[in-house]
């Protein structure tokens, strides 16, 4: 579902990410929570803590879709900035 906010930034909600395996295309293999300006993948969670499987999910979306930047946001934290993780493909983070 495409849309824009007050700042006129284009985004898509529940964007499907097709998967192709051995020449067979699966139309609804994955579903992105948000795709901002066709550049940034945002995966939203509300869990006790972010787990490695959540980061793997985001990295899979980035690799399959050809995007470089992703945000993993967990809303179940006292301060929101504690629940945000940014991932950039090809960038080494310490």
pLDDT at 20: 79
Q: Distance between CA 43 and CA 33 in Å, rounded?
A: 5
- Quote the pLDDT of residue 76: 95
- In this prediction, residue 69 carries a pLDDT of 97
Distance from C-alpha of 93 to C-alpha of 86, rounded to nearest angstrom? 10
**Residue 41 near residue 64 (C-beta atoms within 8 A):** no
**pLDDT band (50, 70, 90) for residue 29:** confident
């Amino acid at each position: 579902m495409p849309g824009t906010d007050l700042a006129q930034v284009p985004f898509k909600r529940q964007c499907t990410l097709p998967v192709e395996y051995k020449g067979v295309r699966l139309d609804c293999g994955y579903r992105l929570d948000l795709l901002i300006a066709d550049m940034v993948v945002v995966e939203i969670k509300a869990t006790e803590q972010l787990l490695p499987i959540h980061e793997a999910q985001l990295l899979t979306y980035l690799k399959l879709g050809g995007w470089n930047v992703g945000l993993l946001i967990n809303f179940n934290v006292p301060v929101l900035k504690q629940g945000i993780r940014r991932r950039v493909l090809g960038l080494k983070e310490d």
